[in-house]
């Protein structure tokens, strides 16, 4: 107790080796950190979505194992990054035991560290972006943190891309249908911190 180690509490693989809906909610309030030569950027997770198994039509595992979705079938606690609409990288945390394809999509962060770098990555031309919009939306947050295909399959419990528990207490959690998909829209597998201004989608009514 004379000396206290400042090492952050990185979430262990066992955190992810649980039911995906549980992980999706427990990730709220945790901090996604990316260390690059350009600097450190980090944000508190405020919105997630669960994609669960081959029986979930919206999950990338729905067609069965392919080259792209291979990380979903691997061990929990690994990043699954893919390119969407040819423009945006989306980052997931793989969940559940190996062989059970499932993941949590990280949809929005509240910026914590490296806001200047985030702004530069989001708007090299210098156009103004409100702080709460820097990591609002799954495509925006990967851009702000500099996450690309190079980060696909990285372990989230050590290395350049990690998720930490900085002791933030959970606020009020809300659940609703997933956004941006055209199938299985009836499953309320999106969760977010109510009243957080970094949450994506139409300006909510708590």
Per CB under 7 A, residues contacting DNA are 49, 51, 58-60, 63, 66-69, 80, 83-88, 90, 92, 103, 105, 122, 127, 133, 136-140, 178-183, 200, 202-203
What does the alpha-carbon distance between residue 111 and residue 132 come to, in Å, rounded to a whole number? 7
Nearest to 108 by CA among 36, 17, 179, 14: 179
Least separation, in Å, of the C-beta of 3 and DNA? 41
Q: State which residue, 90 or 117, has the beta carbon closest to DNA.
A: 90
Q: State which residue, 69 or 196, has the beta carbon closest to DNA.
A: 69
Residue 29's CB is within 10 A of a number of other CB atoms, namely 19
Q: Helix (H, G, I), strand (E, B), or coil: what is residue 117?
A: helix
Q: State which residue, 172 or 183, has the beta carbon closest to DNA.
A: 183
Q: State which residue, 149 or 172, has the beta carbon closest to DNA.
A: 149
What does the alpha-carbon distance between residue 199 and residue 169 come to, in Å, rounded to a whole number? 17
Q: State which residue, 125 or 167, has the beta carbon closest to DNA.
A: 125
What does the alpha-carbon distance between residue 179 and residue 188 come to, in Å, rounded to a whole number? 10
Cβ-proximal residues to 115 (8 Å cutoff; 6+ apart), any chain: 131, 134
Least separation, in Å, of the C-beta of 122 and DNA? 6
Classify burial at 205, counting beta carbons within 10 Å of its beta carbon; exposed 0-12, middle 13-18, buried 19 or more: exposed
Least separation, in Å, of the C-beta of 88 and DNA? 5
């Amino acid at each position: 107790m004379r000396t206290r180690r400042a090492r952050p509490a990185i979430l262990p693989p066992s955190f992810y080796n649980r039911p995906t809906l549980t992980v999706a909610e427990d990730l709220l309030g945790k901090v996604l950190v990316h260390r690059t030569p350009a600097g450190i950027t980090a944000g508190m997770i405020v919105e997630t979505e669960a994609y669960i198994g081959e029986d979930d039509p919206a999950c990338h595992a729905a067609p069965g194992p392919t080259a792209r979705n291979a990380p979903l079938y691997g061990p929990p606690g690994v990043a699954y990054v893919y390119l969407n609409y040819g423009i945006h990288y989306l980052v997931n945390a793989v969940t559940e035991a190996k062989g059970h394809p499932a993941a949590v999509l990280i949809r929005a962060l509240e910026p914590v560290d490296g806001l200047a770098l985030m702004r530069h990555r989001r708007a090299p031309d210098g156009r103004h972006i409100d702080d709460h919009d820097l990591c609002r939306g799954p495509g925006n947050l990967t851009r702000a943190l500099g996450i690309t295909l190079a980060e696909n399959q990285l372990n989230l419990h050590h290395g350049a891309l990690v998720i930490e528990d900085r002791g933030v207490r959970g606020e009020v959690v809300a659940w609703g249908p997933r956004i941006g998909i055209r199938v299985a829209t009836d499953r309320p597998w999106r969760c977010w911190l109510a009243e957080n201004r970094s949450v994506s989608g139409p300006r909510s009514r708590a």
